Structure 1
Amino acid sequence: ESASSLLKLVQLADGLRKGAFTEKISISRLNADLTYSTASYNLKAILNGTEPDVVLQADDKVFIPIITDLRDKKTISVEGEVRKPGAYEYKTGMTIADAVIVAGGFTEAATGLRLEIGRRITNAESKDNIEIAEVINLDTERSLDQIKSSIALQPYDIVIVRTNPGYFVQKVVTVKGEVKFSGNYVLSNRNERLSDILNRAGGFTSLSNIKGVSLRRRVSADDPNADIRRNAAKKLFSTKNDSSAFTALIDSVEAYETVAIDVEEILKKPKSSIDILLQDGDVINVPSKDDVVKVKGEVLLQTQIAYIPNRRLSYYIDLAGGFSTQAQKRKAFVVASNGNGKRVKSFLIFKSNPIINAGDEIFVPKKLERDGKRVSVAEMVGITTALASVATVVIALLRL
């Protein structure tokens, strides 16, 4: 059945929805030139008979808004130690207990002490008010049925539940390799150091390479140097940067970084400043004795050479046949078994030629492909900045 007028249309629609805003509705009408024009009407007055009905035409579009659509949605926010932090619909009469309940309740780490309400300030009389929010602090019970507060929440309040200062999640470190009892260890206190964990692991076996003990530490997810390390690694080790395995290796290794340590000195001076405080996720690796030196990269013969005490880098490069024509001689790496790296570098007329130790790995990178263009200053700065961080990647690559 067609609706010839606005009142007839409302009747055919079985009346208005609850909350309909009738003081101002709009009707869009198709013009002869196929454009639309809009006119506003007071439907409330038409329903009351104080204004005339509106005759409708074909293709008219009638819009009657809902009153709630014309208002800001009132919410509260619950943050901190609750199971489902976030924004929730505000309801008149809400209390802190109600807010915590809709947010899933307290977490195990929550405390009722120092609950905080941040309340919006609306002062229409002054633009120079220094205060930007009213902050209300409460000390109450952690049990929801015992939270007592005469303070009712208001729209847009922010409720913050603090962490219990005496609550700690277990922190675990891992010891691998040549110790008597390898595996995971829970840190017993915040002052536990590398020497403490090595003692708890029963000490070293007779096959351990103490100089090669390494410590790897997780890198924060928002580490700003992650992209620098990845790009520098791909430039320096371009012989493998096209393989998916290489890319996966870079992505996995860069989640950790090597912490420079000297375990021999640490064991001589336990509890000193060089005896590093451990963190959650640390990995301590104690390698086996290794009486060879590995030479990889741009040499004529990639090989393993029997270690001879007090020999320098040039000795092992010569035994590997010398540098290839594509070698970046000045960017050669010496990577110790504990993960610390050392690069061959020149200063004026002097050139470093470091002494090599048992288990060291030498890597000679390939020259950068320039494609007829000079390497930019930004590229060189990025590579130089990342050299120290790439040492861990080098170890993984050499062991492929």
Structure 2
Amino acid sequence: MKKIICLFCALMLFALDVSNIQPSNNSEEELLEVKENKAVFGEHLFSGNFKQVSKNIYNPDYKVNIADVIDIKIWGAVELSLKAEVDSKGNIFIPQVGVINVLGVNNKDLVKIIQDKVKQIYKDNVFVYANMQTYQEVLVFVSGNVKKPGLYAGLSSDSVIQFIDKAGGINLNYGSFRDINILRNNEIIKELDLYDFLLNGRIENITFRNSDVIFVNSIKSYVSVSGEVYKPYRFELGNDIVSLADIARVANVKPTATTALVKSYDENNKISINTYKKSEFKDVILKSADEIEFNPDFNADKINITINGEHKSLHNMVVSKGTSLQDVLDKLEFTDMSELSSVQLFRKSVSSLQKNLLLASLKELETLALTSTSQTPQEAGIKATWTQNVLAFIDRAKKVQPKGQIVIEDKSLYKDIILEEADVINIPSKNNLVVVSGEIQVPGAFVFLDKYKVKDYIKIAGDFSQRADKNRILIIHLNGKAEQFKGSGFLTNKVKLAKGDSILVLPKIDSYNLQVVSLLSQILYQIAVTTKVVLDI
């Protein structure tokens, strides 16, 4: 009996944990598309716009069918206007003229057939006009690699794109845009290539009949294109796309692209990677499954930098490679308010590195939050709420963009720092303020006083909030250096404040999992140091 009770409790705990996992609504096919993560050229074609439109277009070879409506006008000695519907026997009726059988008559011959019948009654001075008012729909099969194979109704003059659109479009994983067959009586009567429409706007008109079949074949040869192109898609190879020059044209390579990196797979389980210059593109023959990346490959002697802040010089400057921070500062004209002891340097590569490190930590936190186990039903309930809060924090944290500031502890180091393309130099303005933010009652900027310590500024800012962690306080200096201040212990008086510093009070973290608490603390510290912002959890 005890074993049964234990087993029941274990199942209840499992159910509590599993209940917080949201089921996926994605089909296996959608998951495969996400995994591949490769956009397909032409995928925008079948978005439902074509299937909503069906228009009567004059088709001289259309054969009149039952339920068609014919607009007839007779004038001259007799005036008559009517809309005649083809009945179940294939006849129409015209008053004073009688019954006319039009079933199977070609549209181009319709006027003559009716006119001949009318002239049997009215010999002279009678004229006849006839036009198809409503066409009977045809039923066409759409099969092969489409999302919703089936039998679809449409006009005989509708295009193949309209019928495929009604079938949900071509399956992007394995359907071909270049190999489409039209079958009639089990024989292929037309082969279509939609690339002619996508690239040149040309499409062949086909007169469909009942029981025609549109068959979308499987994709055979393709390449994937990325990099400096306007169309980064998966393309199907064909007679017009054979070489690297062809795919460069079709993918609309940007003018900045000078080289192409081609990764090929051969039958001997080997991967070959080669780089080609633009002048060589026409001589490179593509293989199926090639991965092509077009890149800019320029050698620049100069770089462009930005200078913001307190100075009277240009805010954009082009300098030679190898120029140091001190070299640029020597060229600038400063004001009396320029704070040259704490010049700030922001770099894109550093920002990218900080972002990647943050995302890696967030990924680890997400894994811990979703895989941690519960020991009791009560703990499982707490875990469910706590997990949702952590996941919400992760979503917010992913949107944070680090500033990429390089820490320069001493102005004597300016001469050793070599600038890079797109570096941003900021000349701070002299100020006598200290900014206090985070988990305090009244965040704000306060006048710097030599006698004030960290605790004094926190006190005049309304003191700690209820969620403040009094032992996790960061001091961020103008030069980007971060120091940790503890409200108690040997570090209490170790941090010396300066004008322009920021005091950030981090939040207290509540969790039953010490590993998660440690990682969360690290992430909050990362965000605060790289952005000067305290993110709530």
Judge same fold: TM > 0.5, yes or no: yes
**Aligned-residue CA RMSD in angstroms?**
5.0
Distance 1:350 1:175 in 2: 40
Distance 2:319 2:460 in 1: 46
Matched, 1:118 2:249: no
Correspondences of 1:52-201 after superposition (within 5 Å): 66=215, 69=217, 71-78=218-225, 82-92=229-239, 94-105=242-253, 107-111=255-259, 116=262, 118=264, 120-121=266-267, 129=268, 131-133=269-271, 141=279, 147=282, 149=283, 153=286, 156=288, 158=290, 160=292, 163=295, 165-167=297-299, 172-189=304-321, 191-200=322-331
SS in 2 for 1:223: helix
SS in 1 for 2:532: helix
Matching residue of 1:335: 476
Contact 1:301 / 1:321 at 8 angstroms: preserved in 2?
A: yes
Contact 1:258 / 1:339 at 8 angstroms: preserved in 2?
A: yes
Matching residue of 2:532: 394
Amino acid corresponding to residue 277 of structure 1 in structure 2: L
Cα offset for 1:387? 0.8
Cα offset for 1:225? 0.7
Matched, 1:262 2:395: no
Distance 2:409 2:345 in 1: 10
Cα offset for 1:360? 1.9
Normalised by the size of structure 2, how large is the TM-score? 0.44
SS in 1 for 2:264: strand
Correspondences of 1:1-400 after superposition (within 5 Å): 66=215, 69=217, 71-78=218-225, 82-92=229-239, 94-105=242-253, 107-111=255-259, 116=262, 118=264, 120-121=266-267, 129=268, 131-133=269-271, 141=279, 147=282, 149=283, 153=286, 156=288, 158=290, 160=292, 163=295, 165-167=297-299, 172-189=304-321, 191-200=322-331, 202-218=332-348, 219-220=351-352, 223-226=356-359, 254-262=401-409, 264-267=411-414, 270=415, 272=416, 275-280=417-422, 282-296=423-437, 306-309=447-450, 312-314=453-455, 316-317=457-458, 327-345=468-486, 350-353=490-493, 354-368=495-509, 370=510, 374=512, 376-394=514-532
Contact 2:303 / 2:318 at 8 angstroms: preserved in 1?
A: yes
Contact 2:344 / 2:405 at 8 angstroms: preserved in 1?
A: yes
Amino acid corresponding to residue 264 of structure 2 in structure 1: G
Of all paired residues, the percent bearing the same amino acid is 23
Distance 2:467 2:263 in 1: 65
SS in 2 for 1:254: coil
SS in 1 for 2:256: coil
Contact 2:258 / 2:297 at 8 angstroms: preserved in 1?
A: no
Contact 1:311 / 1:355 at 8 angstroms: preserved in 2?
A: no
Amino acid corresponding to residue 266 of structure 1 in structure 2: L
Between structure 1 and structure 2, the one with the greater Rg is 2
Cα offset for 1:298? 5.6
Cα offset for 1:331? 1.2
SS in 1 for 2:341: helix
Aligned length: 304
Contact 1:194 / 1:278 at 8 angstroms: preserved in 2?
A: no
Cα offset for 1:261? 1.6
**Which digits, 9 at most, give the CA deviation of each residue in 1:62-112, with x for residues without a partner?**
89784x62x54333445555553433332248344333333335633314x
Structure 1 gap ranges (5+): 3-12, 21-42, 46-60, 122-128, 233-241
> Which is strand-richer, 1 or 2?
2
Normalised by the size of structure 1, how large is the TM-score? 0.57
Structure 2 gap ranges (5+): 1-64, 67-136, 145-184, 188-209, 366-388
SS in 1 for 2:316: strand
> Which is helix-richer, 1 or 2?
2
Larger RCO of the pair (alpha carbons < 8 Å, separation 6+): 1
